Amino acid sequence: MTILIPSYEPDVRLLNLVLQLQTFKLGPIVIVDDGSGPEYRGIFETAEAYGCTVLTHEVNQGKGRALKTGFQHIKEHGPQGGVVCADSDGQHLPHDIRSIFETLLTQTSPGIVLGSRRFTGKVPARSRFGNAVTRSVFSLTTGSKVYDTQTGLRGFPYAMLDWLCQIPGERFEYEMNMLLTAHKEGYEITEEFIDTVYLDHNESSHFRPLADSFRIYLPILMFSTSSLLSALIDFGLLFIMQYFTHNLFLSVVAARLCSSMFNYTVNRKYVFSAGRNSKVRKSLPKYFSLVLLVLLLNYGLLYFYNEKLIIPLLAAKILTEISIFVFSYWAQRRFVY
């Protein structure tokens, strides 16, 4: 078993963590210096003197890249007992790291073990809010619940290292992408509750609220944009067809087929990264099976709103699209791409 610690501009807490972990004798410790600079070299040299392996990025490349650097090194040089990742700022206590280590040993099939915080006591507002949002996003996109999606304390079996190196993302979004991809590919996600520790109001965190939140939520934003453009095409064609044919069913079908081809192409190439590598002959039939289901839902809801509730067509169409948006996103990520 190897302990992997990505680190950027650390302080003495990194060295304290190393010394405490060594008393447990869990296995070798690999630290990735993610471009901290020469003023921090003394800390990393001390860690090396303590027996740690230190890998160095010349410039800051992000937490995701630092983790991948560590995974690649462990895959090539480390023992084949799995990896436990922990942060270097003292927020992950040694006994909690050991708990993840012990849970990994009991696994019967490959999966991710998360050290999940309860967020009790004095938790910085941005941390509490940020995790609540990402928890909701994860639940929305997968239909599953993970209490702490932002935890850096994670355990993986050796068999998952190749997979971990292929997950997209170079910075904090990598950890969210990992969970989303794990769910899609059927890896079990196990949570072990750990102590919630925030030192100095989490001032040591290098998480950038705007830039990194944008990266984390980018898949949702891209899907929303794709859906909006598709909806505009759908709206336009619906009204044009209805004007000329006065046949609601024909208008709905024609508009949805055209907008669906646009939506499939955009989502496959730009929204769901795994879709770029999926073969059209596999994803296209699944997509249009979903389109057929959504089409029936679309027509049924539109008919109900427009014909039964006597809601004007424009307002009825808006209500219909809102109703099926969440279902469509979840189904495409889960079953199509």
* Count of structural domains within the chain: 2
Q: CA-to-CA distance for 136 and 192, rounded, in angstroms?
A: 19
* 168 and 112 in a common domain: yes
My answer on whether 254 and 122 are in the same domain is no
Gap between the Cα atoms of 252 and 86, Å rounded: 52
Q: Within this chain, do residues 179 and 67 fall inside the same structural domain, yes or no?
A: yes
Question: DSSP assignment of 158-213, as one string?
Answer: GGGHHHHHHS--SSTHHHHHHHHHHHHTT-EEEEEEE----SGGGTT----HHHHH
What CATH number did the domain enclosing 98 receive?
Answer: 3.90.550.10
Which tokens in the block code for residue 222?
Answer: 């891209």
Residue 199 pLDDT exceeds 90: no
Q: Does residue 275 carry a pLDDT above 50? A: no
Rounded to two decimals, the pTM is 0.68
Tokens representing 241 are 């067809």
Residue 269 CA to residue 261 CA, distance in Å, equals 12
Check pLDDT > 60 for residue 277. Answer: no
- pLDDT value at 69 more than 60: yes
Confidence (pLDDT) at 202: 46
- Rounded mean pLDDT, 308-318: 88
CA distance 325 to 81: 43
Residue of 186 and 7 predicted with greater confidence: 7
Residue at 228 is within a domain: yes
328: domain range?
218-336
User: Residues 145-179: pLDDT tens digits?
Assistant: 888 888 999 999 999 999 999 998 888 788 888 98
